[in-house]
Amino acid sequence: MYSFRDSIRKSGDRLTAYVSLPGDTLEVVLNKKIWWLLNLSSIPILLLASFLLGFHAGPAIVYLNIIFILSSIIPLIVFNFYKKHIENYALFTQLSMVVITSIKVYYMDGMVHAGTPLFVGLLGPVYAMTLPSKKRAVFVFVLYASAMIAATLLNPIESEVNIFSMYFLGFLISVTFIFFTLYYFTTRLEEAKRSEKKQMQELDDLKTKLYTHIAHEFRTPLSIITGMVDQMKNNPSEWMDEGHSIIKRNSNKLIDLTNKLLDLSKLEANAMPVNFVQDDIALYTRYLVESFHSLAQIKNIGLRLAIDPKEILMDFDPDKIRDIVSNLISNAIKFTPYGGSVRIALRIIDQNKLELSVKDTGIGIPREQLSSIFDRYFQAKNHLETLREGTGLGLALTKELVKLHQGTIRVRSILNKGSEFAIELPITNKAKMVQLPVLDEISFDKTGGFDSPKTPKKDNQLKLLIVEDNADVARYLYSLLSNNYLIETAGNGFEGLSKAIEVIPDLIISDVMMPVMDGFTLCKQLKEDIRTSHIPIVLLTARFDLDSRLEGLKTGADVFLAKPFNNDELFIRIEKLIALRKKLQTRYKLLEPAEINTKNRSQLSKEDLFMYEVRKVLEQNLSNEDFGIQQLCRTMAMSRAQLYRKFSALTDTTVYGFIRSLRLKKAKELLLTTNLNITEVAYDTGFKNLAHFSRVYTKEFGYAPSKTKI
């Protein structure tokens, strides 16, 4: 048997199912249920009131009760067929309550004699308070108060003026107080609900962002690990030792990411233990800094440490100090360009405080973002529109660990000049004295790219540029591609841009998330530069969401691959891009000047426009035998090497060969369409030596100039 409570619950569930529509929020469903119950319950109450009063109150009151009942029944019937816009149904109910009860008050000789209708009418504005629109509630209340006062004033004023005045003022004061008290608390309650909803939404967004970023951070080491496993399987003699160390390093990174998540969970739950020991923090800091020297040397960064005094005994948690110092130094090295410097200083201030500062000559942080960099999941953008890589956990975790030491952290930064992080910790000597062991090696990413070994170039070997700040990823890509391509490398987007302009590679493979300049910015700048616009670009990224893919395609990327990528897919993509380039070469080889001239210049691709400008310049100087490659380079604002690489990529021929071929085609055209003799045609197309002209013409077309018209 069901209990009464079960029956009520089942009735509530059935009512919820009845009033609900797909897409209704919980608040809308609740408002519908309140309105439906209010209207339904008013019907028997009004019927009972009409029966008890009979015609003692007069026929007008009976008719008004009937109208009141109909004003509840009709909306319920309409609602059965159309269940949208509950706020309009509610407004009708509120106005019905106010208008009908105020008319009742009038027929009952004013507020002094009309008790029940007076307070029934008050339900209108009070009910309006339960709905979101508070302006509507104020309107209904003003209508109610005005209608009741009017219903009273329209009746003859009683002789007992004092009684009337006291009742009138009491009514006005009491209902105003009741309404606006309710108004104040309901508005505050709704503001609190909105604020809580916003906070919950922000928290959900942050959690989603965290999970997304963590997934992205896991992709890069997983790519390296899976790739190294394949290499060790296929070439064990070559990769067993190096592959093992690379896998070990990237496994440590995964462990480090996991530990950061666990630490943050403990911090949120206030469950992070602090294990203070008393020892020489100066010596401990020296050990920490020393472990970063090899990382700094990769980017030729000067890493300096200054400590004053040389020995500082104090209480600290070694593990947390290690995380703090490691986060700050690794960030400083990561965002300091090649040849920069990082300075770590440890000193005592105000007798009982320790200051640890890490100053770099890196890219800096915009002033408007300085107040947010310690927020969890925040990633500062630098002046080249580059996201600082990572989960956004590092600095947030650093700040929390500093707070556990009762310390503070601050930052100063100037764009393009560098940043300085300073930590202040109180010096106490209460913990047990211990002798800390020598530290194990700190695990960190090898950033700053990978210097590819110089290998001799094979005949017709294409040049490929790898732009990747993670040395392990760059090393792995090199191992995959070096047998078929001549490899150049760069450690970030800025270096990649310079290297691409310098060597004009046949294809570029780039990471997306890199310090100094990201892959999107690199891709955009390469595609906008006439010297490099023809180069196919493959973007490898841990971020493969739709927005990232669309952004990559908008910047001009030819291929967008997610990490961990499949080796065979990468090979096929590269082969397809090379095949597409060969088709482009055939097109530009056979392209006649008229094919370009007839096009609208605004519709030309950068490659078409480049060829158009080259042909235009060459045709204007066909008769000038002294006009050659040097003059063409000057006109096109390109170096000889850049022009050669661009031409080779677009036409699979040399600049000299292209110029000679263009002159010979023009010579053939003149011989076929004019009455000029061979000598005149040779001079008009830049050949001053008639024998040389005849020889190259015969080689080009297979017959002598004299036989052209035959």
Residue 492 counted as domain residue: yes
- Structure confidence at residue 483 (pLDDT): 86
- Structure confidence at residue 55 (pLDDT): 55
Of the candidates 376, 408, 426, which is a domain's last residue? 426
Same domain, 663 and 560: no
Residue 656 counted as domain residue: yes
* Cα–Cα distance for residue pair 464/510, rounded to 1 Å: 11
Residue 236 counted as domain residue: no
85-120 in b/e burial notation, b at 16+ Cβ within 10 A?
Answer: ebbebbbbbbbbbbbbbbbbbbbbebbbebeebbeb
Can you give the CATH number for the domain in which 665 is found? 1.10.10.60
- Structure confidence at residue 357 (pLDDT): 94
Q: Are 97 and 116 in contact (CB under 8 A)?
A: no
Same domain, 400 and 503: no
pTM above 0.75, yes or no: no
* Cα–Cα distance for residue pair 557/326, rounded to 1 Å: 35
Same domain, 285 and 416: yes
Domain that holds residue 99: 18-156
- Structure confidence at residue 598 (pLDDT): 47
φ, ψ at 167 (rounded to 5°): -65, -45
Domain count along the chain: 4
Can you give the CATH number for the domain in which 501 is found? 3.40.50.2300
- Structure confidence at residue 391 (pLDDT): 42
Residue type, 456: P
Same domain, 603 and 573: no
Same domain, 608 and 696: yes
Residue 378 counted as domain residue: yes
Same domain, 601 and 576: no
Same domain, 619 and 522: no
Of the candidates 400, 426, 452, which is a domain's last residue? 426
Same domain, 466 and 418: no
Same domain, 473 and 333: no
Same domain, 473 and 341: no
Q: Which residues of the chain have pLDDT under 70?
A: 1-5, 49, 52-58, 108-120, 122-123, 129-132, 156-185, 188-189, 192, 203, 205-216, 264-271, 375-393, 436-460, 543-545, 589-604, 710
Residue 628 counted as domain residue: yes
* Cα–Cα distance for residue pair 51/61, rounded to 1 Å: 12
Same domain, 550 and 616: no
Same domain, 541 and 650: no
- Structure confidence at residue 358 (pLDDT): 94
